[in-house]
């Protein structure tokens, strides 16, 4: 479209100058005159009836301005919204129960807020928490997913009379026939346990009510500023134009900040208006372990039916999904699990059934991967076990089952999280697998290196797995592109940014159309005053959906530019081109006009315009894809296991990734490297441990281990670009990809390294301790 290339280049990030110099605004950087500070009293019990709360002593403490309990909220006390309605699946059971701002009748998980203290400082507010006298009557807790459904189990939400939050069956083809015709059935039980999102920046909210302007401003670490704005306006009885929500720079979201509405997000704006003082609450790390949503406990009973030559005839999977105390996010996670399980494979028959269970644990909403890793883990593990039983090489069994490039679009029939049928838009899986085999040196490793190292007493192993990832779902996002009289370009979109590089990639998208230097394109995200339509940053969709909207808006502006330039230069539009912030005549480049000058002409101060003329070089566009685009990839790793300590070192990590057209390889690689770090954490370090009373036993980074830089190798990457036909940029999402297949690859690699122990790893996360037990048990049973 332009003479210079802006796509596919490694442009450094527009936002980094601010971030690296400490000039980026985060929520905690907001300091306002007269600002008060908020602390929350949270339930120690996971399940307990609330009998009384006495706040008199707290109110009397010097420096305390207000203390609120559920009763003080009056009609403002409402359960949160159901964010995602369940898809229209026949026979679906869905019992909704959404979170409340402050506990009224009982606590349903440890850390649920009971009271809110507003004080002159956070120190005073925290001291005042101790003054509050709470009487609670502890109840038996629901922790175990299977016990939760027993008839004598305590019930968390009495109105439903059961801990069953949902029951869904989806089918493709006829699994029973596949089962009858199969030469081999591989049947196993798999566990995948909980972890935190672990963003560097915890959550935070600052709320300010300006009584003169009658305007509420909220700085929030949310991934969804526009829905927060809309919801607050409705709850507080304000016009949407009276509420401005700003999600400034945010230090990582990973999904838990897409959850709405957290109690704190509802309570601070309300109290700020009541008190007519600005309020600040910044979550501390310990609160984060209890009060910020988490993910990942599922138990799968799965079987794979295969022909003698290793072709998949069908999959049967029945699983339990832990949604914690509430289910505001509907069925997104378990549906992702059932849809991602099919992977890049041709699976003609599929029976998938799940039950979602309420438990007395922190609420579950999507965290990077959002259920996809479970599906990948189950499928890839089943393929590994099948390969072993059939005596087929593990790469070969995958090759035999991959969809071919002629199979697209491929309809898997069952419904995806966006309520549309699971249709893969495009893909090219075999070359990705072959490239990964090549990059990791699979043949040489298996033939020479591994035998040589084994002979020397070393336990090295290789893991290689394929996956797909549904990305870039709707409904829509929008963007506005404006050329200013200075010639600089403003781009505004509604999605928030949490470190992905939106300021750079959206600028590239616009530059590709307008040919303006990247440092003259200024991107604003996540400020509802700048752009006020949209949904948020989630589901690996920022560039796919908001990026496409930026593109469409830029194309509309380009049209205006060319029309004006044609008039100004007296040359037909077809004979013009954009270059370096100017429009010039193709055959006579010295005849040119600056974009800034055209912007001035587009906003005349006197004279007349043709009726219907819109002022300015500005356009707003919206983009909503028919359905999500399907990214894919292969992860391969080589590990060495110390058989005495069960410590695992990842020696090499290869990712071959296909997220469609790559706009900025550096940003894509950054997403993958970070995702792999997250995945390694899930695989071997991170695990939330709850006891049978629902108490979290490792609510600090002393005991909950994040992988450190020394645990995460530099990922070797290759890109395959199979454009998506579903958006004008041909892009697919990449934000979650790195974290999805890591556990499956890790399990295979560790098994391979410990071949002599003949382990079967059917659970994630592992840990040195757990792996040690498995090795010990394997020895004992031989």
Partner 1 sequence: MIIEGTFPFAAPREVVWELLQDPAVLAQAIPGAKRLDRVEDDRFEGEMHVSVGPVSAAAFSVTVTISDKVSPERFTMTIEGKGPLGFTRGTARVELHDRDGGTLMKYRADLKIGGKIAGVGQRMLDSVSRTMTRQGLEALNREVQNRLAGISVGATSRSPAVRWKLSMVLLLLAIVVLILILRLA
CA dist 101 and 112 (Å) reads 9
CA dist 738 and 750 (Å) reads 19
* Residue placing its CB nearer to partner 1 in the complex, 653 or 704: 704
Q: Point out which span in 21-29, 42-50, 404-412, 534-542 binds partner 1 (CB under 8 A).
A: 42-50
Site for partner 1 in 267-326 (CB under 8 A): 286, 289-290
Smallest gap, in angstroms, from Cβ of residue 705 to partner 1?
A: 12
* Residue placing its CB nearer to partner 1 in the complex, 46 or 489: 46
Smallest gap, in angstroms, from Cβ of residue 118 to partner 1?
A: 19
Spatial CB neighbours of 353, under 8 Å, sequence gap ≥ 6: 167, 168, 169, 170, 317, 318, 319
Q: Which position among 1, 56, 697, 755 is part of the footprint of partner 1 (CB under 8 A)?
A: 697
* Residue placing its CB nearer to partner 1 in the complex, 376 or 688: 688
Side-chain half-sphere CA neighbours of 485 within 13 A: 6
Smallest gap, in angstroms, from Cβ of residue 692 to partner 1?
A: 9
* Residue placing its CB nearer to partner 1 in the complex, 285 or 399: 285
Smallest gap, in angstroms, from Cβ of residue 114 to partner 1?
A: 12
Smallest gap, in angstroms, from Cβ of residue 129 to partner 1?
A: 7
What phi and psi, each to the nearest 5 degrees, are found at residue 100? -115, 155
* Residue 769 sits in the site that holds partner 1 (CB under 8 A): no
Smallest gap, in angstroms, from Cβ of residue 69 to partner 1?
A: 17
Report how far Cα 375 is from the mean position of its chain's Cα atoms.
16
* Residue 695 sits in the site that holds partner 1 (CB under 8 A): yes
With CA atoms as reference, report the closest residue to 726 among 638, 639, 650, 627.
627
Q: Which position among 25, 60, 85, 130 is part of the footprint of partner 1 (CB under 8 A)?
A: 130
Tokens found for residue 506: 């959206």
CA dist 195 and 293 (Å) reads 10
With CA atoms as reference, report the closest residue to 616 among 552, 699, 553, 549.
553
Smallest gap, in angstroms, from Cβ of residue 283 to partner 1?
A: 15
CA dist 289 and 131 (Å) reads 23
* Residue 51 sits in the site that holds partner 1 (CB under 8 A): no
User: Percent helix, strand, coil in the chain (nearest 5)?
Assistant: 35, 25, 40
Q: Which position among 282, 637, 699, 764 is part of the footprint of partner 1 (CB under 8 A)?
A: 699
Spatial CB neighbours of 466, under 8 Å, sequence gap ≥ 6: 343, 344, 345, 380, 398, 402, 429, 432, 433, 632, 633, 634, 741
Q: Point out which span in 40-48, 247-255, 358-366, 397-405 binds partner 1 (CB under 8 A).
A: 40-48
Smallest gap, in angstroms, from Cβ of residue 131 to partner 1?
A: 9
Tokens found for residue 416: 């995806």
* Residue 45 sits in the site that holds partner 1 (CB under 8 A): yes
Instruction: Return the SS3 of 589.
Output: strand
Residue with tokens 């454009």: 723
Q: Which position among 307, 419, 698, 767 is part of the footprint of partner 1 (CB under 8 A)?
A: 698
* Residue 44 sits in the site that holds partner 1 (CB under 8 A): yes
C-alpha to C-alpha distances, 150 to 106, 141, 154, 193, nearest whole angstrom? 22, 13, 9, 21
CA dist 661 and 719 (Å) reads 9
* Residue 767 sits in the site that holds partner 1 (CB under 8 A): no
Q: Strands of 179-289 (E only): list them.
A: 184-192, 204-210, 215-220, 243-246, 279-282
Query: Cβ distance 594 to 581 under 8 Å?
Result: yes
Q: Point out which span in 65-73, 605-613, 665-673, 699-707 binds partner 1 (CB under 8 A).
A: 699-707
Interface mask (CB under 8 A) for partner 1, residues 83-112, using x and -? Answer: ---------------------------x--
Q: Site for partner 1 (CB under 8 A): how many residues?
A: 20
Q: Point out which span in 320-328, 354-362, 700-708, 773-781 binds partner 1 (CB under 8 A).
A: 700-708
Site for partner 1 in 429-468 (CB under 8 A): none
Going by the DSSP 8-state scheme, the letter that residue 704 receives in this structure is S
* Residue 696 sits in the site that holds partner 1 (CB under 8 A): yes
Give the burial string for 612-626 (b: 16+ CB within 10 Å, else e): eeeeebbbbbbbebe
Q: Point out which span in 473-481, 633-641, 646-654, 693-701 binds partner 1 (CB under 8 A).
A: 693-701
Smallest gap, in angstroms, from Cβ of residue 647 to partner 1?
A: 19
* Residue placing its CB nearer to partner 1 in the complex, 261 or 290: 290
Smallest gap, in angstroms, from Cβ of residue 41 to partner 1?
A: 9
Q: Which position among 693, 767, 768, 772 is part of the footprint of partner 1 (CB under 8 A)?
A: 693
Q: Which position among 20, 60, 138, 276 is part of the footprint of partner 1 (CB under 8 A)?
A: 138
Smallest gap, in angstroms, from Cβ of residue 767 to partner 1?
A: 14
* Residue placing its CB nearer to partner 1 in the complex, 20 or 130: 130
* Residue 50 sits in the site that holds partner 1 (CB under 8 A): no
Q: Name the β-bridge partners of 37.
A: 119, 280
* Residue placing its CB nearer to partner 1 in the complex, 134 or 509: 134
Smallest gap, in angstroms, from Cβ of residue 360 to partner 1?
A: 11
Phi-psi region of 276 (alpha: psi -120 to 50; beta: other; left: phi over 0): left
Q: Point out which span in 60-68, 162-170, 687-695, 770-778 binds partner 1 (CB under 8 A).
A: 687-695
CA dist 352 and 92 (Å) reads 13
* Residue 129 sits in the site that holds partner 1 (CB under 8 A): yes
CA dist 535 and 128 (Å) reads 38
* Residue 566 sits in the site that holds partner 1 (CB under 8 A): no
With CA atoms as reference, report the closest residue to 272 among 215, 198, 329, 228.
215
Sort strands 576-579 and 582-585 into parallel, antiparallel or unpaired.
Answer: antiparallel
* Residue 140 sits in the site that holds partner 1 (CB under 8 A): no
- Residues near partner 1 (CB under 8 A) are 44-46, 110, 129-130, 138, 286, 289-290, 691, 693, 695-700, 702-703
């Amino acid at each position: 479209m332009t003479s210079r290339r802006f796509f596919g280049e490694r442009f450094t990030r527009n936002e980094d100058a601010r971030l690296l110099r400490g000039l980026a605004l985060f929520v905690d950087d907001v300091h306002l005159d007269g600002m008060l500070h908020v602390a929350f009293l949270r339930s120690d019990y996971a399940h307990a009836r609330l009998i009384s709360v006495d706040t008199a002593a707290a109110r009397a403490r010097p420096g305390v301005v207000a203390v609120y309990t559920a009763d003080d909220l009056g009609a403002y006390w409402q359960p949160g919204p159901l964010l995602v309605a369940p898809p229209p699946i026949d026979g679906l059971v869905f019992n909704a129960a959404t979170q409340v701002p402050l506990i009224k009748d009982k606590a349903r998980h440890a850390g649920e807020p009971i009271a809110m203290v507003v004080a002159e400082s956070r120190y005073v507010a925290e001291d005042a928490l101790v003054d509050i006298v709470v009487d609670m009557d502890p109840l038996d807790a629901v922790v175990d997913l299977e016990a939760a459904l027993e008839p004598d189990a305590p019930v968390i939400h009495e109105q439903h009379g059961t801990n069953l939050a949902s029951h869904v069956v989806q089918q493709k083809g006829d699994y029973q026939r596949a089962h009858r015709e199969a030469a081999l059935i591989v049947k196993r039980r798999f566990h995948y346990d909980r972890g935190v999102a672990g963003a560097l920046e915890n959550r935070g909210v600052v709320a300010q009510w300006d009584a003169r302007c009658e305007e509420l401003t909220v700085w929030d670490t949310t991934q969804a500023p526009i829905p927060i704005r809309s919801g607050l306006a409705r709850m507080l009885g304000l016009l949407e134009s009276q509420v401005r929500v700003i999600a400034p720079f945010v230090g990582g979201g990973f999904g838990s900040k897409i959850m709405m509405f957290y109690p704190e997000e509802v309570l601070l704006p309300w109290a700020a208006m009541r008190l007519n003082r600005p309020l600040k609450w910044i979550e501390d790390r310990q609160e984060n372990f209890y009060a910020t949503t988490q993910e990942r406990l599922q138990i799968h009973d799965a079987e794979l039916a295969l022909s003698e030559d290793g072709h998949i005839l069908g999959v049967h999977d029945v699983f339990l999904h832990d949604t914690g105390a509430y289910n505001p996010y509907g069925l997104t996670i378990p549906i992702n699990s059932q849809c991602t399980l099919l992977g890049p494979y041709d699976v003609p028959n599929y029976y998938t059934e799940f039950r979602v269970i309420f438990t007395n644990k922190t609420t579950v909403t999507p965290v990077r991967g959002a259920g996809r890793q479970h599906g990948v883990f189950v499928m890839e593990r089943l393929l590994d076990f099948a390969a072993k039983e059939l005596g087929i090489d593990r790469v070969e069994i995958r090759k035999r089952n991959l969809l071919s490039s002629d199979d697209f679009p491929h309809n898997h029939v069952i419904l995806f999280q966006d309520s549309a049928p699971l249709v893969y838009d495009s893909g090219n899986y075999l070359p990705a697998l072959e490239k990964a085999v090549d990059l990791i040196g699979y043949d040489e490793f298996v033939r020479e290196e591994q035998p040589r190292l084994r002979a020397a007493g070393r336990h090295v192993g290789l893991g290689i797995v394929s996956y797909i990832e549904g990305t870039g779902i709707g409904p829509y996002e929008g963007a506005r592109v404006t050329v200013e009289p200075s010639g600089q370009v403003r781009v505004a979109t509604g999605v928030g940014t949490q470190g992905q590089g939106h300021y750079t990639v959206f600028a590239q998208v616009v530059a590709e159309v307008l040919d303006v230097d990247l440092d003259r394109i200024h991107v604003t995200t996540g400020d509802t005053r700048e752009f006020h339509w949209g949904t948020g940053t989630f589901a690996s969709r920022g560039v796919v959906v908001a990026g496409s909207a930026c593109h469409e808006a830029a194309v509309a502006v380009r049209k205006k530019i060319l029309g004006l330039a044609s008039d100004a230069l007296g040359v037909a539009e077809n004979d013009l081109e954009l270059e370096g912030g100017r429009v010039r005549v193709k055959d006579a480049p010295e005849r040119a006009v600056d974009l800034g000058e055209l912007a001035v002409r587009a906003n005349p101060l006197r004279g007349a315009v043709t009726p219907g003329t819109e002022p300015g070089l500005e356009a707003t566009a919206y983009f909503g894809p028919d359905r999500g685009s399907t990214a894919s990839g292969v992860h391969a790793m080589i590990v060495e296991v110390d058989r005495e300590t069960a410590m695992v070192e990842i020696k090499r990590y290869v990712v071959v990734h296909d997220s469609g057209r790559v706009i900025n390889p550096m940003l894509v690689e950054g997403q993958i490297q970070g995702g792999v770090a997250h995945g390694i954490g899930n695989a071997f370090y991170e695990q939330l441990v709850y006891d049978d009373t629902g108490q979290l036993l490792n609510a600090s980074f002393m005991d909950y281990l994040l992988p450190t830089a020394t645990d995460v190798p530099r990922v070797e990457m290759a890109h395959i670009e199979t454009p998506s036909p579903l958006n004008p940029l041909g892009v697919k999402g990449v934000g979650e990809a790195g974290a999805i297949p890591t556990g499956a690859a890790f399990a295979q690699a560790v098994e391979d390294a410990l071949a002599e122990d003949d382990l079967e790893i059917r659970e994630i996360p592992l840990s040195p301790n757990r792996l040690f037990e498995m090795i010990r048990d394997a020895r004992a049973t031989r």
